[in-house]
Amino acid sequence: MSDMSLRVQPKTKVLIPAVRSSQLAFEIFLQGKWRLHILWSLRSGPVRLGQLGRLIPGASKKVLAHHLRKLEADGIIVRKDMSDTVLHIEYELSSAFRHLVCDLLDRLSELGAIYLANSAKHVEKV
């Protein structure tokens, strides 16, 4: 029994940090129904809350504002208050995460396209 635990333990020590960091990234970037939509909308540049509501018609402004606050607290997006006399707040991806978020969204899109292509082939065979 101890020989087996010795063999498994080194792999586990290497695997656990990778799994934890992947799980953390998943929870931060993809948690909830609307985060992926928000990140896709912000990838092309700064967006105001009203614009975001039009880009994501199924989500209420309250829900969008909640996710924007959480993404801001996580450092993923930046909130810019550009108000002079009229309320003008824009949200954009932070420079630290812009490249990573865009890469993640591209990979998820590729994964989805491959999955859909393979599932279509599978359905044709049946």
**The amino acid at 46:** P
Higher pLDDT, 25 or 89: 89
DSSP E strands: which ranges in the chain? 47-48, 77-81, 89-93
Residue 4 has a pLDDT of 47
Least confident of 29-33, 63-67, 77-81, 115-119: 29-33
pLDDT at 11 over 60: no
Contact present, 67 and 32 (Cβ < 8 Å): yes
Q: Where are the domains of the chain?
A: 31-125
User: Tens digit of pLDDT for each residue in 42-63?
Assistant: 999 999 999 999 999 999 999 9
For the chain, what's the residue count? 126
Instruction: Sort residue 85 into left (φ over 0), alpha (ψ -120 to 50) or beta.
Output: alpha
pTM, to two decimals: 0.75
Contact present, 55 and 41 (Cβ < 8 Å): yes
Instruction: Give, in words, the CATH class of 31-125.
Output: mainly alpha
Least confident of 38-47, 70-79, 84-93: 84-93
pLDDT band at 122 (very low <50, low <70, confident <90, very high): low
pLDDT at 1 over 90: no
